[in-house]
Amino acid sequence: MPVWAPNIRSPGAGSYLALGVALGLTTGFTINALIQFKGPRKPLLIRSPRDTQLSKLSREEIDALPYPPDALPGGRDVETSYGTIRVFEWGPEDGEKVLLLHGISTPCVALGNLGQELVRMGYRVMIFDFFGRGYSDTPTDLPYDIRLYTTQILLALASSNVAWTGNDGFHLIGYSLGGGIAVPFAKDFPHMVRSVVLIAGGGLIRPEHVSWRSRLLYSTGIFPEWALEFLVRKRLMPKSRESMTETKMATQVVDRPKIKHKDSDANGGDGWDGATLLAHRPGHTVSSVMDWQLRQHRGFIPAFMSSIRYAPIYNQHKDWIALGRLLAERRKEAGWVDTGLPGLKGGSILLVLGATDPVIIKEELIHDATAVLGEDGFEAVVLNSGHEMVMTNAIEVANTVAGFWLRLPGIE
């Protein structure tokens, strides 16, 4: 739960009265009426477009989607007790394994260019859609916290016919929200994770970057959930002559600085919202896949809202400090040598940051990471890019990551 949530969770009777009067004047409803009306009953599982859309389309129409289900090689649908998970796994079976975790809103296809580059280098790659995104279903009876995300990671890994778990099983790359998830996962399974790379990673976003509107819309216990979902959907749904952009989605997580950077998500330019998702499908951009997902995935809004509330995005110092201790155990005072402990090779993680990224501010993250991991606990590389680097700078990111792996002890 974000640290700011308790501040808006339990208003007193006077606050309810004031809110009731205001709502009564502007909408004709009182707060009591809103609270008493439960809204439509939500199913425990909301199916993805795999079940609700694809059966109605021709093969040509499916191929024309911004995100067709076979957009990447090695696709499979994994049936679980939490719903279906869409997984892609490809690359040489004997290559070092790399698991990539995507961001809070754009599905895993946003990591396709990076995955393709890593496969070209000889790695075996797995990516999957988080619950409520892309072609993964949406369980609605669980908070989208690290426990659910950890469970989904383990379910995806277990679905492979290639062994991913065990000591030094795979490299872990987390992008944006995926970075926030990668840290506690590596803390809980340090022996399994060969190395950790955070690309514009969340987890230490400072709570002061959350706007008062977002604090209200993503609160709990003040307004009925159905009303909040209605307001969030109305706020995010594209109008008739415009498209939803990742820029607009990012404002739900952090307030963007009032600084304009050319071609980055700071100004909604081609650097992010117009970024091509996959090099072999140049006509499909972040904006187009977000528009499709908002209109076709009925579970996206509930999953997105729950992730903002409960996922490890803000102020996660406790888990980072714990990871820092594990990294320190794998280092010796004499220098960077292999200690023999499984996982977290070299005792250091890699932070890949964008010089013009207004979501993950490089100066803040480097400062805060130093405080919790120590100066020897991470390397930081700043690229001339914004938050969109996994798509627009995929080759540079892949080379940066592969170079980091080659410098780690015990990795050839």
Q: Does 23 map to a domain?
A: yes
Q: What is the CA radius of gyration of the chain?
A: 21
Number of H helices, E strands in the chain: 16, 10
Look at 212 and 348; give whichever has higher pLDDT.
348
83 shares a domain with 10: no
Q: At what angle are helices 362-373 and 317-329 packed, to 10 degrees?
A: 60
133 shares a domain with 11: no
**Cα 164 from Cα 212, distance rounded (Å):** 42
Confidence of residue 49 (pLDDT cuts 50, 70, 90): very high
124 shares a domain with 21: no
55 shares a domain with 178: yes
Residue 136 has pLDDT above 80, yes or no: yes
CATH number at residue 89: 3.40.50.1820
In sequence order, what DSSP letters do the residues of 308-342 get, joined into one string?
HHHSS-B--HHHHHHHHHHHHHT-BTTBS---S-S
65 shares a domain with 4: no
29 shares a domain with 60: no
200 shares a domain with 124: yes
Q: Does 258 map to a domain?
A: no
Smallest Cα–Cα separation from 110: which of 258, 246, 310, 277? 277
91 shares a domain with 202: yes
Q: Does 237 map to a domain?
A: no
Look at residue 20 in the predicted model and tell me its pLDDT: 46
Stated pTM of the model = 0.86
**Cα 23 from Cα 18, distance rounded (Å):** 9
Contact 277, 246 (CB under 8 A): no
- The count of other CB atoms within 10 Å of the CB of residue 408 is 19
How many independent structural domains does the chain possess? 2
Domain that holds residue 151: 45-207+312-407
- Predicted confidence (pLDDT) per residue in 329-350, tens digit: 998 754 556 667 899 999 999 9
- Tokens linked to 181: 């998830």
- Coil, helix or strand at residue 125: strand
CA atoms within 13 A on the CB side of 283: 4
Q: What percent of the chain has pLDDT over 90?
A: 60
Q: What percent of the chain has pLDDT over 70?
A: 79
Confidence of residue 370 (pLDDT cuts 50, 70, 90): very high
Pairing of strands 83-90, 124-128: antiparallel
53 shares a domain with 201: yes
- Coil, helix or strand at residue 210: coil
145 shares a domain with 10: no
Q: Does 77 map to a domain?
A: yes
73 shares a domain with 179: yes
